[in-house]
Amino acid sequence: MTNPTRLSTGIEGLDELLGGGLLPGTLTALVGSTGIGKTQFGLQFAQAGLKQEGSRGIVFDMCSRGDSQSHADYARRMFDWLLRPVDPERPLDLDRFYAPALPRGDYLHVFDQCGGRVTRADLDADAWRQWQAELGRRLTAAIAFFYGHFIAGVRRAVIDGIEPVDRPSDSIQFELFEYIYHQILRKDAEWVARDLFRERFRANAEAAAQHVYDPSTIGCLLLITSQETTLDGLIERPLDEGDVLSNANTVIHLGKIREGTRFRRAMYVTKHRGSACTDEIIPYAIDDRGLHLVKS
């Protein structure tokens, strides 16, 4: 049974192995290669909010490669959940932001798909500067997306699209995530509103004061694509100073393990501050219901 002070992962049996679930107000990093089950895990975590808090979580996608992450397909198949996309280029009507009937989509793919990775190593100097400018233009849409849902009662955020890089400082996705995590997810609601409205904040100050939330109740699940495919390779990977994994409260690796002549999927909880947790390798499988644990 899930501890009411924890956030359920949405995966039967996993909460118990995590001492009751994930800690709200912290970052959980889910690391694994493409196709290992990160998206299913993330959607199950978001879906679990419907039962536990009364609202599903939201999905923020930073992927720029051009290949589909299949969020909408998985959500529909697993939960009959029709993800509502947000257009990041649509002008925001900030004068009506607090209107009760204002529609808020629950999926934001913030970048135009470009068919390639967005890192310093993959772009020349001019292209890198253009992407940083693009990042600046999309921040308002990102702030509105998170803040609008948090004032409506959402308490879970799934952030996808972190691609493999040698150094996090070389990734436009890591740069955007650092801003979102520290300047939106962990910031007091009033200051997030100030960043959103800017010169219009005074006109919206009274409404902002009536729409507050506690950032320490919000859980963030970050999905990170790794170059390593085996669980051993992920566990043995060294952490660089300032690496997002070193700052996460919980780190869960998803990878493949060898059993005789075949491979199977398994996870390992590398770090889980705040409670005792299992030190076992945890096998799992994926089907139309998503990710579920299996007995060894």
Q: What is the CATH number for 118? A: 3.40.50.300
pLDDT for 244: 80
Indicate if the alpha-carbon torsion angle 209, 211, 217, 218 is positive or negative: negative
In a domain, 253, yes or no: yes
Contacts 24+ apart (CB under 8 A), 279-287: 280/17, 281/231, 281/257, 282/14, 282/17, 283/257, 284/11, 284/37, 286/37, 286/40
**Pairwise CA distance, residues 97 & 226, whole Å:** 38
In a domain, 88, yes or no: no
Mean pLDDT, to the nearest integer, of 91-114? 82
**Pairwise CA distance, residues 220 & 58, whole Å:** 10
State the average pLDDT for the chain: 88
**Pairwise CA distance, residues 176 & 171, whole Å:** 9
- Reply yes or no on whether the pLDDT at 1 is more than 50: no
In a domain, 290, yes or no: no
In a domain, 176, yes or no: yes
pLDDT for 213: 97
Q: Which domain holds residue 264?
A: 14-79+106-282
Mean pLDDT, to the nearest integer, of 209-216? 97
Strands 250-259 vs 262-272: parallel, antiparallel or unpaired = antiparallel
pLDDT for 121: 62
**Pairwise CA distance, residues 16 & 39, whole Å:** 21
Total of domains in the chain: 1
Q: What is the pLDDT of residues 130-182, one digit of tens each?
A: 766 767 778 899 999 999 999 999 999 999 988 777 666 667 788 889 899 99
In a domain, 115, yes or no: yes
pLDDT for 113: 53
In a domain, 159, yes or no: yes
Burial (CB count within 10 angstroms: exposed 0-12, middle 13-18, buried 19+), residue 90? exposed
Within its chain, how far is the Cα of 163 from the centroid? 13
In a domain, 86, yes or no: no
**Pairwise CA distance, residues 31 & 293, whole Å:** 17
Q: What is the pLDDT of residues 260-277, one digit of tens each?
A: 889 999 999 999 998 888
Q: What is the pLDDT of residues 105-120, one digit of tens each?
A: 999 998 765 555 566 5
Structure-token match 């913030």, residue found = 110
Q: What is the pLDDT of residues 286-295, one digit of tens each?
A: 999 999 999 8
Sheet holding 107-109, edge to edge: 85-86, 107-109, 58-61, 156-162, 219-225, 27-32, 250-259, 262-272, 282-287, 290-293
**Pairwise CA distance, residues 247 & 257, whole Å:** 26
In a domain, 275, yes or no: yes
Q: What is the pLDDT of residues 11-20, one digit of tens each?
A: 999 999 999 9
